[in-house]
Each structure stands twice: as C-alpha cells, then as structure tokens.
A = this chain, B = another copy of it.
Amino acid sequence: MKKLIIVCSLLIPLIISAVAVSKDDTIKIKHTKEIADDATPYVLNQLLENKAAKEIVFEKGVYHFYPDKGLNQFVYLSNHRDVFVRTAFPIINYDGFTIDGQGSTFIFHGTMLPFHVMESQNVEIKNVTVDWAMAFHSEGEVVKHDEKNHTFDVKFFDEYPYELRNGEINFIKEYYEHDLGQTIIYDKERKAISYNCIASTPISTVQKTKVRHNTDKVKYKYKVDKADLTLRKNGIENRISMEEVEPGVVRFFNHKKELPPIGSILTTKGQQGLNRVAPAVSVKASKDFKMDNVVIHHAGGMGVIVENSENLTLNKLKITPSGDRVVSTTADATHFVGCRGKIEITNCYLENQLDDAINIHGAYQEVVEQLSDNQLGIRMGHHQQEGYHIGRTGDKIGLVRLDDSFTPYKEVTLENIKVINQRYQILTFKEKLPKGIVAGDYIENLTAYPEVLIEKNTFRGNRARGVLLSTPKKTVVRENYFHTQMEAILVPVESSKWYESGSQANLYIEGNTFEDCNHGGADRGCIRLHTDENNENIAFKNINIKGNTFKMFDNTVLEVSNTDGLVFEGNTILPTNTFPRLHKDSPAFILKSSKNITFKNNDFKGKAPKLMETDKKMSKVTFQ
C-alpha cells in the first residue's frame, strides 16, 4: 500500500512544470499575452515551486485568472458558504511574503478565491485591483409600472444574461448561476442604496407551501438548524413569478410591497446561504497581515474576511464597483471573526457593497453536553460558522448564560479542540469545569478580541450598516465619513441568530461625520447600542461619543440600551433636506436599561420634536 500515490487534493499538492522557476527571493511576473490570458497555472506554479520566495511582483497590466487550472481548496469561510474554491494564490504557511501588483488589474472568472492566506505571518497584498469578468449578482433598471395589476418591469443590462424556468428568473454566469433571491434597489444618480428602499424591496420571493403530507413525522434526535441549506426549503415555495415582455425586459408578478420606483436599479444576488461563494481575500489563522492600496471592484461574497487572526492592517483599501455596476462586493466590505491583537483600518473608501462596511466580533458556541470534568461537546450555532475554531491553547474561554448576564459566570483555559465534524467539536480545558453547565449554555473566547482603530475612512452607498463593533478592547472610530442605508455604527449582542459574541466596551467615537444615515427607511438611531436579549442586564460599558457631526434628514441620532457609562459630548446635530423625513415623531435620543449616561456641550439643531426618550426605570438624563 505504501506505493500508492497519496496526493490529497484537499492538502497542498506540489506542482511540477517544465516552466523554469526563478529561485530568487522575488518572483517576477512579466506581462506576456500567454501569461495574462490565464495567469492561474503560471502564477500557481511559480508560487508552489518557489516556496522560499519573499515577494511576487507583477509587471503592470491586466491579468485574467480562470479556475480550470487553479489549485483546489475546500475552505470553511465564516459568514460564507463553505465551498471548494480554486486559487492561484495559496499563501499558506508563509512567514513574510508580499504580493505587489504594481498597479495591475486581476480579473477573475467563476468561483475563485483570489487571495487565500492561511497560517501565515507578515503577508502583505498591495497595489492591485481585483475584479470579476462576470458578477455574482445582477442589475437592471425598473422601467415600467402597472399600478392596477401591481406589476413592474425591469430591463436587465446586457452583462447579466438570464433565462426563465417555469416563470422564475435565473441569471447565468461563467461557472455559476443565481436566482432572484436577495434584492435591493439603488438610486443611480446618487450611486447608493435608494432612499426608503424598504418600502419596495427586498422582494418577498417565498411563501408557505399549502400541501404537506406527513412531514411532521420527520423527527430529529438532536437539535437541528432549520436555516441550513436543506431544512430551510421545508414548507417553502416561490411566491413571485416573472414573464419576459420583450427581450431583456422582465415583468414581476405578485410583489408584496410597493412598486420599486421607476428609474431605480434593482439588484439581485440569489438566495442567502448560496450567494456568498467567492470573497476577494480570505485570511485565516494568520498574524501581521497587511493590505495597502488595493482596489476591490467586486467579489461573490465579502471583500476581506478574516478569521482567528492577529494584527491586521488595511490602509487605502478601496471597494467600489467597476464600469456601470452599482454593486461592488455582494456581502460585507470587511469582516473579522475571533481576531486579536490590533485591527487598523485607515484611509479606506468602502462603497456600494451589499452588506456592512466593517463587522468585528467573536463567536458564541453552544454547549451540547459535558463529557467529563474538563470536556464539553459544543456545537456551531449558525450554519455559516461550520468548521470554525473558537481559539488556541491557553485562550481564556468564558462560560455564558445570556439570560442571566452578558458577562461570563466562569472563565476556563482552553487546552485543545477535537474537530468531529462541521458542527460538533470536543473542547478540553485545563481546569475542571464548574457544576451546573447545561445544554444550551454558550461559550465565548475572552482572549480573542482585538483593539480596533478605524480612522479617516469613507463608508457610503452600501446596503446595511457602516461599522458593527463587538469587542471589549479599546476601539477608536475617528474622523470617518458615513452615508449608510442602516445604522452608521451598530454595537450589538447578536446572540440568537448569528451567534456573534463580544459585548463592546471602551469605545471612542470621535470627530466623525454622519450624513443622512438610516435612509433605507428603518426608524433607528444613527448610532445604536442594542442586544437581541430581552433583558435589562448591562452589556456595554464606557462608550464615548465626542466631537462628531450628525447631518440628519430624519430624527434619531442615538439609541442606547443595556449600557453602563456613556458620554455624548461636544457633538453637533444639523438638519438636512436631502430626503423627506420618514419618522417625524421619533425622538433624537432613545435610552433604556442603561445607567451613567451623560450629555454635555452638544449643539442640537435637529428636527426631532422630542429630544430624549428614556424608560421609566432609568434616572433622568438631561441633554446639554
């Protein structure tokens, strides 16, 4: 049996080629037609054959990367679908490596992972522009209404081929397709999400099935996730249907909300769970990672997803759509799970992506059972956390029961993790566990929270939030510009659905400009501290909001709950007339289940008829 050639494609196979490989520290890629037409096999071969290289430098030009000869990698990607991706850049197990595009543009085709950084340190990506030949989403303009029949027509642009199957649209891409799924409208003049988009989108694509027979007899021995890709289909059928009225123009029937305004751009990206398959950059289990002067025009998922990593620096990252597209990446611009050390995001311009600009959090995991005096069987709560590792040997793990407190009732030290499968792991701790742990309790990693600096960035035009913050370490959000569809800054405890951990503390929001945020239509604070848990316990501490300018077309500046210690000082609130006001009765400041809240030296010129709303149990707070 020893003679068998065991080359597991899930590992990193070597590649031998006749092409000569430079053995210098620097791999130099010339811009020849042969290479540039499909750079994948050449670049991959150079990297795999020259593992000691410290740098790969591209002669400036446009390079195409096809998946056909790309290295195969199965990747568990948090907040993405776990998939096989092809890559030309397997940056795995490096200590010190730079990818320098020297101003080049890399155009990817199909389900590829442009940059796959894993178990490496001191990796830098710079001076490169990333785009895809065909987008993972599709766009069209709303061109006609039929008020009587409540239908609307969309003209899909030429770069988004489609077909109708039994009255359902499917967009056909290279190596990929998507159905309607998640939709939202953009304002093509502002090149941003439309004002009050929630009145007409998302399109409700599904409804309950009427005919089910014996399906209630399918029982499960253990807890299952009804959101997983199989179970979520149970009991659901398509609600919306379509008809082509002329080539390229499709009529939508049975739309539930208002008709989307004529002239708005309808964007569609297929179903949640299926539609995040190709982020531009994945960084896992790495340290001291930098990106400098990188442009990401598109990705079928996030721009940058970082997991279990330490010290991350993004400078002059620009996320913006190319050509006539209104959408850049189809999910968050940047997202950080279980990171430590320091995250610095500076001088970035993140716009038009279909989810948050920045999301920083840890991960709760759920106790299945106690297996011995120092072992727990634990379960990943969300299907997009499959395969996630909560930490490293020596990390402090908090035992949490959120009904009782957002603060762990006990800390233990992680000894090791045994991965049984995507959902189930066995964790061993250095100490004996306390008595009384029950199934359903949560754990979180108390060591794996980062310090954060978010400075001099622009966040605009995207769906969803600007910045989501969940770390108790010092976090500075300074001198940024926000124009976001939902909250500019959300400080959450998102325990129940997303299993995202980390109760924010020591937050400094200073000198930022917030302009017409929450224009999507929801009645929420421009800055919002909020927990999913319906209790009055303290989640957030030491929050400082100073010297910011809030330009508000609507009323609510700040919403606070479950907070101990918040100073709102020296801020200016100005009215705008950019959009009609949506929630004219809402107060400027909403406070509940909180204490030690101070307002001083603020300048309020907003339109809200009522300045402050506090719940009855709280002591009186005066706006100053």
**Chain B residues near A4 (CB, 8 Å)?**
119, 285, 308, 392
Interface contact B421-A7, CB-CB below 8 Å: no
Question: Which of A183-191, A192-200, A209-217, A258-266 touches B?
Answer: A209-217
Expressed in whole angstroms, the Cα–Cα distance for A209 and B167 within the complex equals 10
Interface contact A218-B5, CB-CB below 8 Å: no
Contact pattern, A 397-408, Cβ under 8 Å of B = 1, otherwise 0: 000000000000
**Chain B residues near A76 (CB, 8 Å)?**
9
**Chain B residues near A371 (CB, 8 Å)?**
17-18
Interface contact A13-B68, CB-CB below 8 Å: no
Query: In terms of DSSP, what is the predominant structure of the interface of chain A?
Result: loop
**Chain B residues near A222 (CB, 8 Å)?**
66, 68
Nearest Cβ in chain B — how far from A230, in angstroms?
6
Interface contact A5-B392, CB-CB below 8 Å: yes
Interface contact B421-A14, CB-CB below 8 Å: no
Interface contact B424-A68, CB-CB below 8 Å: yes
Nearest Cβ in chain B — how far from A409, in angstroms?
23
A10 at the interface (CB under 8 A from B): yes
Q: Which residue of B lies closest to A73 (CB)?
A: B421
A69 at the interface (CB under 8 A from B): yes
Interface contact A238-B166, CB-CB below 8 Å: yes
Interface contact A221-B170, CB-CB below 8 Å: no
Interface contact A211-B119, CB-CB below 8 Å: no
Interface contact A392-B3, CB-CB below 8 Å: yes
Interface contact B119-A1, CB-CB below 8 Å: yes
Q: How many residues on A have C-beta within 8 angstroms of the other chain's C-beta atoms?
A: 103
A70 at the interface (CB under 8 A from B): yes
Nearest Cβ in chain B — how far from A86, in angstroms?
6
Expressed in whole angstroms, the Cα–Cα distance for A7 and B415 within the complex equals 13
Q: Which residue of B lies closest to A174 (CB)?
A: B218
A418 at the interface (CB under 8 A from B): yes
- Which residues 413-429 in A have Cβ within 8 Å of B in the complex? 416-424, 426, 428
A248 at the interface (CB under 8 A from B): yes
Interface contact A424-B164, CB-CB below 8 Å: no
A609 at the interface (CB under 8 A from B): no
**Chain B residues near A424 (CB, 8 Å)?**
68-69
Expressed in whole angstroms, the Cα–Cα distance for A393 and B120 within the complex equals 33
Expressed in whole angstroms, the Cα–Cα distance for A163 and B14 within the complex equals 48
Expressed in whole angstroms, the Cα–Cα distance for A175 and B223 within the complex equals 12
Given A66-B222, A221-B109, A375-B16, check contact A213 B244 (CB 8 Å): yes
Interface contact A15-B426, CB-CB below 8 Å: yes
Number of copies: 2
Interface contact B389-A5, CB-CB below 8 Å: yes
Interface contact B163-A215, CB-CB below 8 Å: yes
Given A17-B372, A119-B1, A234-B172, check contact A162 B213 (CB 8 Å): yes
Interface contact B172-A215, CB-CB below 8 Å: yes
Expressed in whole angstroms, the Cα–Cα distance for A9 and B418 within the complex equals 9
A532 at the interface (CB under 8 A from B): no
A450 at the interface (CB under 8 A from B): no
**Chain B residues near A233 (CB, 8 Å)?**
165, 170, 177
Expressed in whole angstroms, the Cα–Cα distance for A121 and B589 within the complex equals 72
Expressed in whole angstroms, the Cα–Cα distance for A417 and B67 within the complex equals 19
**Chain B residues near A528 (CB, 8 Å)?**
none
Interface contact B417-A7, CB-CB below 8 Å: yes
Expressed in whole angstroms, the Cα–Cα distance for A4 and B118 within the complex equals 12
Interface contact B166-A211, CB-CB below 8 Å: no
Interface contact A66-B221, CB-CB below 8 Å: yes
Q: Which residue of B lies closest to A119 (CB)?
A: B1
Q: Which residue of B lies closest to A422 (CB)?
A: B72
Q: Which residue of B lies closest to A288 (CB)?
A: B1
A486 at the interface (CB under 8 A from B): no
A38 at the interface (CB under 8 A from B): yes
A579 at the interface (CB under 8 A from B): no
A387 at the interface (CB under 8 A from B): yes
A147 at the interface (CB under 8 A from B): no
**Chain B residues near A84 (CB, 8 Å)?**
421-422
A247 at the interface (CB under 8 A from B): yes
Partner of A165, one of B231, B237, B308, B387: B237
Interface contact B213-A156, CB-CB below 8 Å: yes
Interface contact A71-B163, CB-CB below 8 Å: no
Nearest Cβ in chain B — how far from A415, in angstroms?
9
Expressed in whole angstroms, the Cα–Cα distance for A247 and B217 within the complex equals 14
Given A72-B422, A221-B66, A222-B66, check contact A372 B18 (CB 8 Å): yes
Expressed in whole angstroms, the Cα–Cα distance for A381 and B416 within the complex equals 42
Nearest Cβ in chain B — how far from A174, in angstroms?
6
A394 at the interface (CB under 8 A from B): yes
Interface contact B66-A209, CB-CB below 8 Å: no
30 A-B pairs whose Cβ atoms sit less than 8 Å apart in the complex: A1-B285, A3-B394, A5-B393, A5-B417, A7-B389, A9-B422, A13-B419, A16-B426, A17-B371, A67-B421, A68-B221, A68-B222, A68-B423, A69-B421, A69-B424, A70-B420, A71-B420, A160-B214, A161-B217, A163-B209, A163-B215, A163-B235, A166-B166, A172-B215, A172-B234, A173-B218, A174-B219, A174-B220, A176-B230, A177-B234
New A-B contacts (17) at CB < 8 Å, excluding given A16-B426, A69-B420, A163-B209: A4-B308, A7-B417, A7-B418, A15-B426, A17-B371, A17-B375, A68-B221, A71-B420, A86-B421, A134-B218, A158-B214, A161-B212, A162-B213, A163-B212, A166-B166, A177-B234, A213-B244
